[in-house]
Amino acid sequence: MIRKSERQKDILRVIESLDITPSMYKNADEKYHALAKYLSEHTNVTLDMYAQGSFAFGTVVRPYKNDKDGAYDLDFICEVDIEKGNITAEQLRDCIEDAISEGELYGGKLEVSDQCFTIHYADEGGASFSIDIVPAAHESEMKKKLLKEKSSRRDLIDTAIAIPMKDSNNYKWRTNNPKGFAKWFREINEPYKAYIRTEFRKSLFESTDIYDKIEDIPEGMERSAVQRVIQLLKRHRDLYYSHLKEDKPISAIINVLVAEVASSLHPSTDIFTLLEAVLNEINESSKFYNDRIKGEILLENRAVARKNREWYIENPANPEDNLADAWNKSEDIAKGFFKWVSVAKKDLIDSMDKPDDEFRALSESALGQDIIKSAWGDKYEDKAPTPISASSKPWRCY
């Protein structure tokens, strides 16, 4: 049986292959800055365009949709220098949409949805990507004051914004705070990045010819144990839920739970130790799923909490945003989440002690057959003759 340390390195090679490459990062960075410049020149308002989500956190992983790896989707906020009381949500959307659609440069690439505006870019280097633009205005000072009164991190609230959200047939304002969320995440992640920065940057520099010197590597390409664990869980989630009717957990939940656990550990903690700690922490909370004890036991000190008979995962930058709100509308969503976490532990942790062929089969189910084949070839496959009546791989039905 191939030793555990080598197996872990092979799993990480798969995740690295699903990450955005240095050339793709450079391309996306140039595209979004060009788009921001275009919008500034074609609207009558001052605006600031910045990354949110995986591109901001350094946790990009190639999406898995319709049984295959899809295009990368990168999320950005386009925040105008106007307080929400001085413009309606509908007017803001119209302003940004008109600027994009009326120009020849982006009009033919635009897709409009209720949540955002999407610009699709052509395939470059074997992978295509899109940029999702969420328009936003400044949140009101009154609302920020109310948020600060509820928040344990008042220092994060000043960057709160208001984004248009569709309610029936109309758009209304909804508070969001991606800059505050990113600041909170960086505070936890930075010590982990610093611990391996020199080694990681040297390795990345030697594996690509896009940078003239190590110092040219952008901070956005650095990856810590925290970021790798998030990428692993996001990839596993995408495959696990790909054939299920239940809604998959949003990435913000994964980001918060991983970061919360990481904050209690030393920055030298390796990727798989952190991964196991995260999965174990969530499994502890799953023990309180039983209906008979809802509201009887408070889990306020756990990453996944119970408050007033409801599941609660706090958005650290917005005290009014319960990331687990959907769980309280459908218990099946919460039940499905805990089941997924249990399967993830079997696939990504317990599999390390399985025979080689079983480890490979579990890895294919967890991360994707094609990507495993591309990264590993026939490694870990059973070379012994297989009886015709036997199944070639112990595929698992979710």
The answer to which of 64-73, 189-198, 208-217, 343-352 has the lowest mean pLDDT is 64-73
Answer yes or no: are the C-beta atoms of 157 and 151 closer than 8 Å.
yes
- Answer yes or no: do 164 and 233 share one domain: no
Predicted local distance difference test score (pLDDT) of residue 109: 86
Cα(8)–Cα(225) distance, integer angstroms? 13
Close Cβ partners of 292 (under 8 Å, ≥ 6 residues apart):
none
- Answer yes or no: do 167 and 236 share one domain: no
The reply to whether 218 falls in a domain is no
Predicted local distance difference test score (pLDDT) of residue 122: 76
Q: CB count, 10 Å around CB of 391?
A: 9
- Answer yes or no: do 172 and 233 share one domain: no
- Answer yes or no: do 296 and 369 share one domain: yes
Residues 13-42: what's their mean pLDDT?
93
- Answer yes or no: do 159 and 233 share one domain: no
Planar angle of CA 116, 17, 381, nearest 5 degrees: 130
- The rounded mean pLDDT for the chain is 89
pTM: 0.91
Predicted local distance difference test score (pLDDT) of residue 287: 72
- Answer yes or no: do 51 and 163 share one domain: yes
The reply to whether 189 falls in a domain is no
Cα(16)–Cα(367) distance, integer angstroms? 12
Residues 98-122: what's their mean pLDDT?
88
The reply to whether 212 falls in a domain is no
The reply to whether 185 falls in a domain is no
The reply to whether 181 falls in a domain is no
Predicted local distance difference test score (pLDDT) of residue 121: 87
Q: What is the tens place of the pLDDT at every residue in 197-234?
A: 999 999 999 989 899 999 999 999 999 999 999 999 99
- Answer yes or no: do 38 and 124 share one domain: yes
The reply to whether 36 falls in a domain is yes
252 has pLDDT over 60: yes
- Answer yes or no: do 168 and 277 share one domain: no
pLDDT confidence tier of residue 363, bands split at 50, 70 and 90 = very high
Give the domain extent around 142. Answer: 20-176
Q: Residue 143: give its domain's CATH number.
A: 3.30.460.90
- Answer yes or no: do 54 and 147 share one domain: yes
Predicted local distance difference test score (pLDDT) of residue 300: 56
Q: What is the tens place of the pLDDT at every residue in 157-204?
A: 999 999 999 988 899 999 999 999 999 999 999 999 999 999 999 999
* Domains held by the chain: number: 2
Closest CA to 129 of 24, 56, 227, 222: 24
The reply to whether 59 falls in a domain is yes
The reply to whether 72 falls in a domain is yes
- Answer yes or no: do 138 and 257 share one domain: no
- Answer yes or no: do 155 and 229 share one domain: no
